[in-house]
Amino acid sequence: MALDIGERRIGLALSETGILATPYSVLQRKSKQEDFAHLQRLVIELKIERLVVGLPYSLRNGEIGPQARRVMRYVKEMLKVITVPMEYFDESYSTVEAKDYLIATGQKKIPLDAAAAAIILQKYLDKQNKVGWMIN
Domain ranges of the chain: 2-129
As its CATH architecture, domain 2-129 has 2-Layer Sandwich (3.30)
- Residue 136: pLDDT above 60? no
Element (H, E) at 112: helix 112-129
**pLDDT > 90 fraction of the chain, expressed in percent and rounded:** 81
- Residue 134: pLDDT above 70? no
Phi, psi angle pair for 128, to nearest 5°:
-65, -40
pLDDT tens figures, 71-114: 999 999 999 999 999 999 999 889 999 999 999 999 989 999 99
Q: Determine the straight-line distance between the first and last CA of the chain, rounded to whole angstroms.
A: 34
**pLDDT > 70 fraction of the chain, expressed in percent and rounded:** 94
Q: Are 115 and 23 in contact (CB under 8 A)?
A: yes
Q: How far is 97 from 66, CA to CA, in rounded Å?
A: 22
